[in-house]
Copies of this chain bind each other. A is one copy, B any other.
Amino acid sequence: MVGYSDILRALGGSRTEGFLRSIEGKTPIFVCTIATTETAKVAGISAAGKNPEFTDYTPPADVEYLYYGRCRCIDGVPVTPEGIPTPALITRAAVHLSDLPVLVVDGGSRIKPQVPLLDLGGQPGMDIRAGQAVENVNIIFERAITLGRNLAKASDYLVLAESIPGGTTTALSVMLAMGLDAEGRVSSSMPDNPHRLKLSIALQAMGAAQLHKGDLKERPLEAVAKVGDPVQASVAGLAVGAASEVPILLAGGTQMASILAIIDKTDRSLTDSLAIGTTRWVIHDRQSDLAALVRQVGDIPIMAADLNFGASRHSGLRAYESGVVKEGVGAGGAVISSIMKTNGKVTRTSLQEQIEREYERIVDRR
């Protein structure tokens, strides 16, 4: 496939080109699934919120911003403890430039966003350290399948995004329970990835659930129920319901590797329809290894939006180049879809300009 040089190819070779061909000029539905967990409130594991208690507000605020250009449940927009704004900024710019339809799914959030909200019957995730994480996991999964099946009938393909603080820690736990060598490989919204803390939480969770690594290799939903989070059950279910009909772009970082593993163990044949779309900050991150995680599941394409904020007028955006945030709210996948829907008319340059404008509008507001 000629061109699309603003999309980096990280894994998948000719399958990646095939996936891009299958979505070229097509309109997806961009589905952002949100949830919150008590796990995210463990000090030091998430930067998605200016302090741990604030993580309950980050996902609803993200999707309010995505729909309306401003948050309603909070003032301003979600920021890291250092004040770096949410990656929803990137997502909104991409969605706006290519006029993508957006739907928001609630996997289980404590604070409900003031938007039209697709409820799957879930609850906020618990603290995995108790060895019990997600209630109603079968209900969430089954309703997500029903929804995915219907969304597939309505669209060319689906982009499945997430906003859940602490999601890489629950991803690590689920991948370990399923026997993947995930230690030290999940990403972080912080420049210094707290791998030891995450692993200790994951091991504590597995201990409380009386699990050894790989015990739930063939029982992905049990892994989610015990040591995972509600977004995993929701996004995996959406993909399982839709992937026999349309391509699926899993829009996120290393969390999507855990979701890939869940889908793979539900129905291996579905993985042929999947790809991961993320950001350059994830695939070039030296403190995590998305490709090494994905390869353990299969030869799934990984693509990345080649954004670079190094020349930004704003320190809050330049900070992305030092490893803050990296990904979230489907930022990378939204950019890829935006480029592909418009056959390349939307470019890295036009996106970065739009992101600068968005940043200025938001900072002016605050």
Contact = CB atoms under 8 A, between A and B. Distances in A.
Given A114-B121, A119-B119, A121-B114, A101 B154 contact: yes
Contacts of A143: 114-116
A54 interface: no
Nearest to A150: B101
Interface in A134-170: 139, 143-144, 146-147, 150-155
A29 interface: yes
A143 B154 CA distance: 21
A27 interface: yes
A53 interface: no
A356 B248 CA distance: 37
Contacts of A118: 116-119
A224 interface: no
Contacts of A147: 116
A102 interface: yes
Interface string A91-135: 000000001111101000000001111111100000000000000
A101 B146 contact: no
A346 to B, nearest CB: 15
A103 B118 CA distance: 10
A4 interface: no
Contacts of A101: 150-154
A136 to B, nearest CB: 11
Interface residues of A, number: 29
A292 to B, nearest CB: 34
- Oligomeric state, in copies: 2
Contacts of A102: 150
A153 B121 contact: no
A67 interface: yes
Contacts of A121: 114
A154 B153 contact: no
Interface string A288-311: 000000000000000000000000
B27 A153 contact: yes
Contacts of A146: 67-68, 115-116
Contacts of A155: 154-155
Contact of A119 (B117, B144, B153): B117
A151 B146 CA distance: 17
A105 B118 CA distance: 9
Contacts of A27: 153-154
Contacts of A99: 153
A68 B101 CA distance: 26
Interface of A: 27, 29, 67-68, 99-103, 105, 114-121, 139, 143-144, 146-147, 150-155
Q: Give the top 3 A-B pairs by smallest Cβ distance, nearest first.
A: A101-B153, A101-B154, A116-B147
27 contacts: A27-B154, A29-B154, A67-B146, A68-B146, A99-B153, A100-B153, A101-B151, A101-B152, A101-B153, A101-B154, A102-B150, A103-B150, A114-B139, A114-B143, A115-B146, A116-B118, A116-B120, A116-B143, A116-B144, A116-B146, A116-B147, A116-B150, A117-B119, A118-B118, A118-B119, A119-B119, A154-B154
Given A116-B119, A117-B119, A118-B119, 16 more contacts: A27-B153, A27-B154, A29-B154, A67-B146, A68-B146, A99-B153, A101-B152, A102-B150, A115-B143, A116-B120, A116-B144, A116-B147, A116-B150, A117-B118, A119-B119, A155-B155
